[in-house]
Structure 1
Amino acid sequence: MTLPVTLDDIRAAEARIRGHVRRTPMLADPRLSGLVLKMEHRQETGAFKLRGATNAVLSLPPERLARGVVTASTGNHGRALAHAARAAGVRAVVCLSRLVPPNKVAAVRELGAEVRITGDSQDEAMAEVARAVAAEGLTEVPPFDDPAVVAGQGTLGLEILGDLPAPRQVLVPLSGGGLASGVAAAVKALSPQTRMVGVSMERGAAMAASLAAGHPVTVAELPTLADSLGGGVGLENRITFAMCRALLDEVILVSEDEIAAAMRHIHAVTGDAVEGAAAVGVAAVLAGRAPAAGTVALLSGGNIAPEAFARILDGGRA
């Protein structure tokens, strides 16, 4: 099948965002033999989202960019868009639900974006985006279901293969599918034998439920350590559902206790605090549902409140 985002699109995104984002390191896990960690949580703004947001902003025609940009977010994409918009000197509006942790809300505000808190779900936040586009003339930069965003996230796949040309498998956090579909498009194009595995939480994993149903479905958003993986895929999903269905070899769901254990493990081997969404791949390995040997686990973000992480280190869930 012809995918809506191709290797050429991802290579063009890599050239476009070069100098605007960091190339993040890879680290061999000293406790899980054969496992390699892609340290994307050390990205500027603390998460992979900067890649897609920057590519989308830099791809906009000047007249649309000048009117400003708007998005809905569970936190990290909003922070990334605020950063990219400030760098471009344009207005940014970020719509968040009440489930977004306060530290992520504050981080978006600190980058100069206008924050609008609306409703108890990502879908309600997206309804405010539609209103802002219609009433205020802003340009939407979606958090995942957008070709420029997907291509930007796909640059992570190019980086992974640049450091490790043919891994056995790549474990990638799975939410709306922008990260998973972009990385999978790059990896499968260059290393077809590499297995692409999407990993999500058991509580409210919309893409996993949609793939199981064979079409986009709505699921209830529930509190979870992997809050960045919350939100729906959009019933009118145009890009990421089809790409995930075509490119992912497997989907694994992990429990809250497994996520917490993985967060403690990552801290022990790297010294870093990562958010729950970033730990799901390592959680799958620790739980015995994915092999360590020949595997890359993508650590997608590190934006977790210090007090929440302290509770997890003490043996709690947050």
Structure 2
Amino acid sequence: MQNELTLKDIYLAQQRIAGLAERTPLLRSESLSRRWDCNVWLKLDNLQPTGAFKLRGAVNALLGLDKAQRERGVVTMSTGNFGRALAYAGQHLGIAVTVCISKLVPDNKVAALRESGAQVVIVGDTQDDADIEARRLQQEEGLAYISPFDDPLVIAGQGTCGLEIIQQQPQIDTVFAGLSGGGLIAGVGLAVKSINPHAEVIGVSMNQGAAMLESLAAGQPVQVQEVASLADSLGGGIGLDNAWTFAMTQRYMDRGYRVDEQQIARAMLHLFNHERLVVEGAAAVGIAAIEQHQIDLRGKQVALVISGQNLSNNSFAQACHLAGEPNYADL
């Protein structure tokens, strides 16, 4: 890693993004606290203006561009949420945004990208294919490339989520968050462990296509096959030339878990039934991991990052059927 991020970078990001990205609530879950005999807090980043935590890093990255880069515009690859966040921030800052996505991105996220003002390029069957196209546009059209995770400004922006958790409940000792490219875990881990080195930071991925977990097991970034999942926003690789998040995840994540589709569905339906939250699969993987792996949390202060709510009707219906509650699919 060429330069090391510090807690100061996250504090600076917190100041920079105020006004475009929200300071989201951290609310206690009575149902989960009773279920696991601990205190469970839900970090509601699904309440960001674009419906996901990604807005934090997107705003910080765009505000870090120089004037010439802003005038040329930016390009990224995305599974949907980061592209939407970048487009939203770009509209507010007067910066043109192009988003490259694969055919696996759900239709509702494609529509949201276009509604947010992004130029959308759909190419290939994987996030790696979309990344190749984004890099081509960077070279041929002179656009500034912004990684959705492997970028220091993006990581610092996502780290503000962890900083807020500690500011809102300083006694938190365990944090669960979705694990994909590693931008969220890297930033949250840096923030939380810089303030409380004894806190545990736990990442969760879906069973298949868990790129960061596969890479950590191999000791280096590796490619994985992408498959459709309720946790679609956790799909994609981490990049074979990963410069930031692989090393930071190694350093700041204590444990990583995989969860199956049925458990993700059950977690989504728990949040709907007990918390009245309609969230995408990636936002529910913390609950899924605790249930599937029977993680003992008795007496702990636990924060779950509820990362986003950008799911389609079809995804919610699929979750209902997998969780054994098909009647909800008609709501």
TM-score by length of 1: 0.97
Question: Is residue 307 of structure 2 the alignment partner of residue 300 of structure 1?
Answer: yes
CA distance in 1, matches of 2:249, 2:2: 13
User: 1:12 maps to which residue?
Assistant: 12
> 1:163-174 to 2 correspondence within 5 Å?
163-174=168-179
User: 2:243 maps to which residue?
Assistant: 238
Q: Following TM superposition, by how much is the alpha carbon of 1:240 offset from its aligned partner in structure 2, in angstroms?
A: 0.2
CA distance in 1, matches of 2:3, 2:42: 28
User: 1:139 maps to which residue?
Assistant: 144
> 1:35-54 to 2 correspondence within 5 Å?
35-54=40-59
Q: Following TM superposition, by how much is the alpha carbon of 1:288 offset from its aligned partner in structure 2, in angstroms?
A: 4.3
Deviation above 6 Å: which 4+ runs of structure 1?
none
192, 201, 209: which one aligns with 1:187: 192
Whether the aligned pair in 2 keeps the contact of 1:225 and 1:275 (CA below 8 Å) is: yes
Cα RMSD of the aligned pairs, angstroms, is 1.6
38, 57, 60: which one aligns with 1:55: 60
Supply the AA of the counterpart residue of 2:125.
D
User: 1:83 maps to which residue?
Assistant: 88
User: 2:36 maps to which residue?
Assistant: none
Whether the aligned pair in 2 keeps the contact of 1:123 and 1:232 (CA below 8 Å) is: yes
- Structure 1 counterpart SS, 2:42: strand
Residues 75-130 of structure 1: CA distance to partner in whole angstroms, max 9, x if unpaired? 00000010011111121100000000000000000011100000000000000111
Q: Structure 2: which 5+ residue stretches go unaligned?
A: 34-38
Residues 196-215 of structure 1: CA distance to partner in whole angstroms, max 9, x if unpaired? 11111111100010011111
User: 1:274 maps to which residue?
Assistant: 279
Percent identity, please: 50
Q: Following TM superposition, by how much is the alpha carbon of 1:269 offset from its aligned partner in structure 2, in angstroms?
A: 2.1
Q: Following TM superposition, by how much is the alpha carbon of 1:2 offset from its aligned partner in structure 2, in angstroms?
A: 9.4
TM-score by length of 2: 0.93
User: 1:159 maps to which residue?
Assistant: 164
What count of residue pairs does the alignment treat as equivalent?
318
- Cα 1:160/1:118, change in 2 over 3 Å: same
User: 1:225 maps to which residue?
Assistant: 230
CA distance in 1, matches of 2:31, 2:291: 11
CA distance in 1, matches of 2:171, 2:182: 22
> 1:115-134 to 2 correspondence within 5 Å?
115-134=120-139
Supply the AA of the counterpart residue of 1:42.
L
- Structure 2 counterpart SS, 1:93: strand
Residues 135-190 of structure 1: CA distance to partner in whole angstroms, max 9, x if unpaired? 11110111000000000000001100011113121001100000000000000000
Whether the aligned pair in 2 keeps the contact of 1:166 and 1:191 (CA below 8 Å) is: no
